[in-house]
Amino acid sequence: MERGWFPIHRKIFDSDVWAHPTARIVWIYLLGMAAHAVTKTSARYQCIVLEPGQILVGRESLAKKCGLSGHQVRTALAYLKSTSRISIKSTNRFSVITVINWPIYRDAMLNSGQQDLGDGVQQASSRRPAGVLIQEGKKLRSEEKTKPRSSEELPTATTEALLEVNPEAKRAHLRSLIISCLAGRRSIATLHEALVREHLDHNLVDKIITPLRAEATA
C-alpha cells in the first residue's frame, strides 16, 4: 500500500463515533488503510481483490495494530456495523471490511484542497528549506482558489453534512439535487427552499447551505 497521509475533518470530534472509546480508533484506522483503488493482495495463499474502500484484516492483527484487545475490536466493529459505517464479509481465516459510502469519504478527502504525493515525495520535500516549503504551500493554496470547481464537486463541509442524512438513497438524492441546482445556477435561497421541502432538520439545512453560500460570496 502506498504510504502517505490523509485528512480527517474536525467534525469527527462532534460525531457519535468519537464518543465511543474504541470504535473511534478502529474507524480512523479503517479510513486510513482502506484501498483507494482496485488492489490485489493475498491471504493464506489466496488471491484477494479489494475494491476501493475495502480492507483485508484479521481480528488479531487489527487488535494489535490498534492497541486493543480482541474483545474491544469485536465491540468496535459491531458498533461501526450497527451505525451503517461498515459492512463485514468474514471467513474462518480473515475478514474483508467495506467502508460504506466510501465515495463520499473519498470526495471529502479530495475536496480538502490537499494532495497526497506519497511517502517518497514527502520525505524528499521535508529536507528542503522551510522558506521554500512555505512559498510552495502559498502557491498551491492560491492555485486551488483559482481552479474552477467541477459541477460534481461539493465543499467538504457540505459533503460531511450530507453524511448525517439517512437512508443512503435519500443522501444520494439530496446530493443530486444540490448539484443540479448549482449546475442550473439557481440561487442559494432557491436551493435552501428545496432542501426545506425535503423535510430536513433546519440545523442540517444550514450545515449544508452555509459552505455553498460562503463559496458563492467568496
Number of C-beta neighbours around residue 103 at 10 A: 12
Using the structure block, give the residue that is written with the C-alpha cell 498551491.
140
Residue 80 belongs to a domain with what CATH number? Answer: 1.10.10.10
Q: In angstroms, rounded to a whole number, what is the distance separating the alpha carbons of residues 74 and 210?
A: 38
Domain region containing 49 = 10-100
Predicted confidence at residue 73, as pLDDT, reads: 93
Tell me if 112 is assigned to some domain. Answer: no
The x, y and z cell numbers of residue 83, run together, are 451505525
Exposed / middle / buried, residue 28 (Cβ in 10 Å: 0-12, 13-18, 19+): middle
Instruction: List average pLDDT for each run of 10 residues in the chain, which is 218 residues long.
Output: 67 87 92 86 79 89 92 93 91 86 72 42 41 55 47 76 82 82 76 84 87 76
**Which residue type does 101 have?**
N
Q: In what order do the strands lie in the sheet with 54-57?
A: 54-57, 95-99, 86-90
Count the domains in the chain.
2
Q: In angstroms, rounded to a whole number, what is the distance separating the alpha carbons of residues 13 and 174?
A: 24
Tell me if 168 is assigned to some domain. Answer: yes
